[in-house]
Amino acid sequence: MSLRDFLAFSALIVASFAGRTLSAEEFNFYFKTSPGLERVRPLDGPVTISVLITAADGRPVKEGWAEISLHAPKPGRFFSTDFPLVEGSRLAEMRLPLRLGKAEWKYLFPIRGEYHLTVDLVTADGKKAGKTFQFYIRENKQKWLYLGLLTLGLFAFGFTAGRIFTSSTSSTASRIAACLLIAIGCLAASLEITAAQDARRKEYFGWLEIEPATVGKPSRVRWKLGGEGGAERPLALLTLTMTHLEKGKTVFSIERLPVDGEFAMSFHFTDGAEYRVTALANVGRRTLRTEQILSVTGVEPPASAMIPAITFFVVVIALGLGVGRWSKRRKKRIKN
């Protein structure tokens, strides 16, 4: 290859990379929550999530769609979260129209950890761009307080048991301690599942279709608008709300979303409970309400999620038992 051909080839490669860089920087992606992330805690309350997409000159994208995908934090190294089956799963997937370059919805974060929010832009003229945001949700301070109190209580229990059974034979004390540890393990492993289902559907022009929901995998949620006699479906402003009935909290909500006859999304119901899914569609001067009560099937957490916690509690009790026995024997030696 001659020097001239080499320079031409190098210039072509540089131009190719420069073109890719300009294409990637053609749009700006912004992400924020209300309240701010530093104040957000799991299951504390619904959070307003906003995504703003602008052109390189700062003007919002006028027409386009934002394809949203939210992924839960990956499993922790030792302690699992309140919902082990949710860890590392896809929580929500939807396609929202941009209004002045903005897409907004409400969501109740279920667990602590680092979330991944992927936003893919598709403009009206076919241009595409995307960005992934990573953000961390801290655990509720009360959970750490409860864990500390429980750990202290288990240690005190082991300490007291150690002092009481020190005078007994070693085999008797071991049997009693083993029985207590097994009882605690069985209690920690128990899981109460409530299953009840009541589905209702109002006819009119709109209806909901929800796949049977099971903890651990997303379900398809679909709302459709129909007209009499095959009439053309007009534009509707859809407000879709999902509420956890036991907690009385909104887990997901979008308001006045422009829908051309149909809206579908994937949503992960994170625990085995009953949810109310409500759709309000404004069509002209009419408001169409569709509601369905969904009973989510709970699934027992895997052993890998329970064993570390049970092991930790067993170690704390054993440590308290050992300290109690040591303190009782030390007291006897001092008296002698």
Q: Do 146 and 91 have their domain in common?
A: no
Assigned domain for 175 exists: yes
Read off the pLDDT of each residue in 34-51 and give the average, rounded to a whole number. Answer: 95
Assigned domain for 8 exists: no
Residue among 242, 238, 231, 290 nearest 260 (CA) = 238
Assigned domain for 216 exists: yes
List, for residues 106-141, the tens digit of each pLDDT value.
Answer: 999 999 999 999 999 999 988 999 999 999 999 876
Confidence bin at 332 (pLDDT 50/70/90): low
List, for residues 211-249, the tens digit of each pLDDT value.
Answer: 999 999 999 999 998 766 555 668 899 999 999 999 999
Q: Do 133 and 27 have their domain in common?
A: yes
CATH of the domain at 261: 2.60.40.2410
Q: Do 63 and 103 have their domain in common?
A: yes
Q: Do 105 and 52 have their domain in common?
A: yes
Q: Write down the H helix ranges in the chain.
A: 3-24, 141-164, 170-189, 303-335
The rounded mean pLDDT for the chain is 78
Neighbours of 300 (CB within 10 A): 15
Assigned domain for 150 exists: yes
Say what the pLDDT of residue 93 is: 97
Q: Do 151 and 128 have their domain in common?
A: no
Q: Do 229 and 241 have their domain in common?
A: yes
Assigned domain for 17 exists: no
Q: Is the pLDDT of residue 64 over 70?
A: yes
- Compare 200 and 150 and report the one with higher pLDDT: 150
Q: What percent of the chain has pLDDT over 70?
A: 65
Task: Write out the two tokens for 207.
Answer: 């209806």
Q: What is the number of domains present in the chain?
A: 3
Q: Do 46 and 183 have their domain in common?
A: no
Q: Do 84 and 232 have their domain in common?
A: no
Q: Do 275 and 182 have their domain in common?
A: no
List, for residues 318-327, the tens digit of each pLDDT value.
Answer: 777 777 777 7
List, for residues 281-311, the tens digit of each pLDDT value.
Answer: 998 888 999 999 999 998 887 666 566 666 7
List, for residues 242-289, the tens digit of each pLDDT value.
Answer: 999 999 999 999 999 999 889 999 999 999 999 999 999 998 888 999
Q: Do 275 and 327 have their domain in common?
A: no
Q: Which domain holds residue 43?
A: 22-139
pTM over 0.85: no
Strand, coil or helix: what is 319? helix
Assigned domain for 12 exists: no
What is the residue type of 12?
L
Confidence bin at 18 (pLDDT 50/70/90): very low
Q: Do 135 and 173 have their domain in common?
A: no
Say what the pLDDT of residue 165 is: 66
Q: Do 151 and 116 have their domain in common?
A: no
Residue among 195, 225, 201 nearest 213 (CA) = 195
